[in-house]
Amino acid sequence: MVVTRRSQKKVASPAKKLATPTKVDIVEKKKPKKVEKVKKVLKKRKGLILTREKQEVDHKKYKAVNGYYVLRKYDSEKAKKEILSQAGVALEAMAKHTKKNSKTDLFGESKDSIAIKFHLKKPRVTGVRRFKIIQLPHSDREPGNSTLCLILGDQNAKQLRDKKNWDTDVDKNARKWKDTLREKHGITSDEVDKIYTYTQFLREYSTKESVKAFLKSYDRVVIQNNLFKVLVRHFGASCWNVSKFPLPINPRSERLKEKLLKTYSQEALVLPVHVQVHSVRIGNIHQPQKHLVANIKEVLEAATKCLPGGFLNVRTASLCFLSNAQELPIYVDFGSANELIEKVVKKVDEVIEDECTTLPEGLKVKMHMDGKVDVVDEESGEAVFYPTVEDEWEKHDDPDLKPRATRESLIRREVFKRKSAEKKKAAKKAKLEAKKEE
């Protein structure tokens, strides 16, 4: 049995324990204003699951696709064929537009990068940020025309945890990595333009402005897999871009050079939470049309597996240049967004109840999964206010363990919690009603 510091405080005598108030006995002097609540009573039936919209969905009849129940039969293959047929027409129009408005520019090809955009009916609400790496069959990026930066871990990471051990020669460990990669895997400056170590990168790029400048200076950033999450968090929102999202790699792999060359033709489908527009870079307008259509086909296969609700959740799909915000639509779905209902996973709160030797008779401890500990009555099972200043405490005891909360203060705290919870529910309900009216 785990005994927390809260439960180690001095116990009350059995006589005083009977006077310990329960949370049910709280009587508010000033009742808060009643908020009109619309409660839907849902009958518990077999095979029915409660969703976030408070609707009953038969999970045996309807399938959940990436967190959404699809209430309409849908042929995704037919939609893909329609997109591919319209994509060829759109690419021809975009190629003619670039020829008419083309200007002599050293970075013309980089400005003519094309991406496919998906506008969703409903965004993903729960979970964390996700991404899907897509291997394009015909990529326009190669070691000769693109730049790649590789970020690896420090060889003496334990020593460099202390800033006192930082060497004035910043790229000393990076040069060691460069030699080992050349000797073991045959990786030269032709494949990798720049190598950084973890500590070196943090020393040189510590601000948001410097990180943005770093991401703009390279076409592809590859990070060691065990440092990937840490550095993505350090990059911030600037890396969650169409073509600037980094890719992970395992430097201990025997086929490191082969995997490193594959990263040139890889693109990431980034899926943040509460975002309705997702885009993926498919290549350059100067590529052959067949190659671009093949790249779009590969992106569509990944999108049907990763997008919340599958392809039925796609409202529109369009092609666009990364240099401007103009879009050329190639697919539209006029179906209702109510055909998609979000699946809500109920969190199971496992509670462990057990006796504690530091508590008086008649009381026990209830522990929740989130770490919350409550003192409850053994007979009624109701939570009690314990300990208070009315409980037993002697002068020779530790002063830090002396109870300082009174019964009145605990009651005020509980009343404040209930009022704040009611205000939050009322505000949430008002937002939902405003969205429905819109």
Task: Look up the domain containing 266 and give its range.
Answer: 76-100+111-161+169-336
Mean pLDDT of 224-234: 91
Asked if 198 and 247 sit in the same domain, the reply is yes
Q: Are 353 and 364 in contact (CB under 8 A)?
A: yes
Asked if 381 and 303 sit in the same domain, the reply is no
What pLDDT score was predicted for residue 13? 42
Asked if 149 and 224 sit in the same domain, the reply is yes
Q: Are 411 and 42 in contact (CB under 8 A)?
A: no
Q: Would you state the structure tokens that stand for residue 315, as one six-digit string?
A: 């409202």
Q: How confident is the model at residue 394 (pLDDT cuts 50, 70, 90)?
A: low
Asked if 329 and 359 sit in the same domain, the reply is no
Mean pLDDT of 274-284: 91
Tens-place pLDDT, residues 154-181 = 877 777 767 777 777 778 888 888 999 9
Burial 47-66 (b: 16+ CB within 10 A, else e): eebebeeebebeeeebebbb
What pLDDT score was predicted for residue 101? 79
Domain end residue (candidates: 312, 336, 360): 336
Gap between the terminal Cα atoms of the chain: 54
Asked, for residue 406, whether it belongs to a domain, the answer is yes
Asked if 127 and 243 sit in the same domain, the reply is yes
More confident residue, 428 or 240: 428
Tens-place pLDDT, residues 57-86 = 666 667 777 778 788 788 888 889 999 999
Whole-number Å distance between alpha carbons of 294 and 290: 6
- Phi, psi (rounded to 5 degrees) for 349: -95, 100
Domain end residue (candidates: 284, 308, 336): 336
Alpha helices in 18-75 (DSSP H): none
Asked, for residue 258, whether it belongs to a domain, the answer is yes
Q: How many domains does the structure of the chain reveal?
A: 2
Report the CATH number that the domain containing residue 131 is assigned in CATH: 3.40.50.790
Asked if 270 and 357 sit in the same domain, the reply is no
Asked if 322 and 376 sit in the same domain, the reply is no
With CA atoms as reference, report the closest residue to 222 among 246, 251, 186, 242. 246
Whole-number Å distance between alpha carbons of 191 and 267: 18
Asked, for residue 96, whether it belongs to a domain, the answer is yes
Mean pLDDT of 382-399: 60
Domain end residue (candidates: 271, 303, 336): 336
Q: How confident is the model at residue 401 (pLDDT cuts 50, 70, 90)?
A: low
Asked if 294 and 379 sit in the same domain, the reply is no
Strand partners, 318: 117, 329
Q: Are 282 and 116 in contact (CB under 8 A)?
A: yes
Whole-number Å distance between alpha carbons of 329 and 319: 6
Q: What is the mean pLDDT of the chain?
A: 78
Asked, for residue 55, whether it belongs to a domain, the answer is no
Asked if 281 and 392 sit in the same domain, the reply is no
Asked, for residue 68, whether it belongs to a domain, the answer is no
